Amino acid sequence: MRRFFTLLHREISHYFHQPLAYVVLFFFLLLTGANFHAGISVLNRETGQTSVVEAFFNTVLFWFPFVLIFPLLTMRLFSEEYKMGTIETLMTAPVRDSQVVLAKFFGAFVFYLVLWAPSVLYFAIFQWVTGESAAGAIGSYLGAYSLLVLIGLFYLSIGCLASALTENQIVAAVIAFALISLMFFLSLLSFLFLNASPALRELSYYFSTIEHMAEFSRGVFDTRPVVFYVSMTAFTLFLTFHVFQYRRWKR
Amino acid sequence: MIKVENLTKRYGSVTAVDSIAFEVKKGEIMGFLGPNGAGKSTTMRMLACYLPPTSGRAEVAGCDVFKDSLRAREHIGYMPENVPLPQDMRVSEYLRFRAALKGVPGRRITERLTDVYDLCGLGEVERKLIGALSKGFRQRVGLADAMIHEPELLILDEPTIGLDPNQIRQVRELIKNLRSHHTILLSTHILSEVEMTCSRVIIINKGRIEAHDTPENLRARLSEGGEATMEIRVSDAAATAAKLKALAGVTSCSHQRLGEWTRFTMKIAGDPREHLHALAVAEKWPVRELSRKGATLEQVFVEVTHAED
């Protein structure tokens, strides 16, 4: 376990040693800030049941940067080590392949959480300034943020897999972006199938990240997406582990 | 310490290492010698548990490098060719990370760090970013990393490649000093390095072991071969060369005019210096030099690795 935490610590600090992390943090803050502002402006003009939290998590301005950050966070995880050759010193130390894969994955996950941490402040400031609640209920926060965590786990694992496939970071980013977009656009199927048979509607709901967020940010907690994201993450990490091992074996 | 049996590695249809077998005993410095692409790095990578062998087995400190890889790795300090290091860490930070990763107990890390700084002369760059270090220092960081967990076996792949002559000498001294605590397997294609540091040598070519002996014995193999030089003052160089060549033990003779002196260079078998001297006395040639050079490891190497071509 100590080795895992040593690796994890290294992975996390590696993010903060690189300028990319700060560039991503900066622009991500900028975009989510703009999104927050846009959400409130819309609410100011309309009357309805929508809460600030719902408005924040369910716009194009939210989804667009959201899908983009994953390739940026994960592209270097394995690719850089392959390219630099540091994979050789890493894997000749007494560490298990699984420890390396998990440390890299959770390292990225911790950075992802750091990325989202400031957004909590937006809602806190909103409540402090307006004196009104930003969410309908506390469940709204819990739902939205736990779904953020779940989607994050899944998409980050896709990024890990892409990075384990190639020693070229750009290629890794492109693969990750393509796969994540594909998963994300499956969301839109359920909107195409609005008038289709209930079975098809039901099926498409499983993939529909957008619908999941709409539900969760209203404070509706559904176990189906939880199972979906957790099992998909586990499966993708399992693939990553095998790709990582295979790359060494075939050489 | 190392036991290798029928170790083979194939990359697709290319056989990089072809069923080699050897043993390294505790406290030895084994030199791995071969031209580029001979299979040195592949063998070392297999021993360091980085590459799985295609067939055959290898044991390090009693642990199979494949089946018991994690335990084997604890006994090995490995420095890969070209010393890959992360650019973004400071020297101390990196070595701390590596020490923890290799299972050095937390309370001993600082002590080990001080030790390897002293051994490798890293004290002055401890706070520097690895990316900003010169090649020589990077090499030393690699060495420090290899021995931070006090492994019984050090595997060093081309430890002096790309260094300037002073740095090469420093690294060699360092390796020699390590001999008392570690068994060392090092690879190189620089022959003088092996002659200076190693107690035994394996010459590998095209994935096969061509020779395996002490440097002295390998030289002795060709000890009959060598070169004798004689500088004398004669008027007819060609006739003299013919007389020299007629002597027993001289296989060929060439000459070069140096003013009124002539330098004769002979390929010899055995040691014909006595006959050369006797001839010079009999012919009343004034002699200002008579010397013999034994075969170098370089000649052994060239002979062994070109035998099949």
User: Could you give the domains of chain B?
Assistant: 2-221 (3.40.50.300), 226-295 (3.30.70.1340)
What is the rounded distance in angstroms from the CA atom of residue B43 to the CA atom of residue B74?
Answer: 18
Q: What is the mean pLDDT of residues B56-84?
A: 90
Distance (Å, rounded) from C-alpha A156 to C-alpha A153?
A: 5
Nearest residue, CB atoms, A89 vs list B80, B87, B100? B80
How much is the pLDDT for B163? 78
Give the minimum alpha-carbon distance from A140 to chain B in angstroms, rounded to a whole number: 40
Q: Which domain holds residue A149?
A: 2-250
Query: What is the chain A residue with the closest CA to B146?
Result: A89
- A190 versus B142: which is more confidently predicted? B142
What pLDDT does residue B161 have? 79
| Structure confidence by residue, pLDDT tens digits, A193-247 | 777 777 777 778 888 888 888 888 888 888 889 999 999 999 999 999 999 998 8
Output the pLDDT for position B260. Answer: 86
| B206-244 pLDDT, tens digit each | 888 888 888 888 777 665 567 888 899 888 888 888 888
Among the residue ranges B27-31, B32-36, B268-272, the one predicted with the least confidence is B268-272
Predicted confidence at residue A177, as pLDDT, reads 95
* B271-275 contacts, C-beta under 8 A, 24 or more apart: B272/B228, B272/B247, B272/B248, B273/B228, B275/B247, B275/B248, B275/B249
- The answer to whether the beta carbons of residues A180 and A159 sit under 8 Å apart is yes
pLDDT at B102 over 80: yes
Q: Which of A88, A94, A96 sits opposite B84 (nearest CB)?
A: A88
Using CB atoms, pick whichever of B76, B97, B145 lies closest to residue A6. Answer: B97
**Per-residue confidence at B44, pLDDT binned at 50, 70, 90?**
very high
Tally helices (H) and strands (E) across chain B. 11, 14
Supply the pLDDT for residue B112. Answer: 92
Q: What is the pLDDT of residue B307?
A: 57
| Predicted local distance difference test score (pLDDT) of residue B296 | 67
Classify B282 as helix, strand or coil: helix
pLDDT, residue A221, reads: 85
What lies within 8 Å, CB to CB, of B25 at 6+ separation is B1, B183
CA A199 – CA B120 distance, rounded (Å): 69
pLDDT given for residue B151 in this prediction: 92
State how far residue B134 is from chain A, nearest Cα, in angstroms. Answer: 17
- CB within 8 A of A26, min separation 6: which ones? none
Is some CB atom of chain B closer than 8 A to the CB atom of A203? no
Position A109 scores a pLDDT of: 96
pLDDT of residue A251: 58
The DSSP symbol for B90 reads B
C-beta neighbour count of A90 within 10 angstroms: 18
Interface confidence (ipTM) of the complex: 0.86
Query: Would you call B255 an interface residue with chain A, using a CB distance cutoff of 8 Å?
Result: no
Residue A150 CA: distances (Å) to CA of A61, A121, A137, B174, B297: 20, 21, 21, 52, 64
Q: Write out residues in chain A with pLDDT < 70, as ranges.
A: 250-251
Contact B84 A249 (CB under 8 A): no
Average pLDDT of every residue of chain B:
86
Q: Output b/e per residue, A80-89; b: 16+ Cβ within 10 A.
A: bbbebbbbbb
Structure-derived torsion over alpha carbons of residues A158, A222, A31, A233, reported in degrees to the nearest 10 = -10
The owner of tokens 């966070």 is A73
For chain A, how many structural domains are there in total? Answer: 1
**Closest to A92 (Cβ–Cβ): which among B71, B73, B89?**
B73
Q: Answer whether residue B104 shows pLDDT above 60.
A: yes
Within 8 A of A86 by CB-CB distance, chain B residues are 84-86
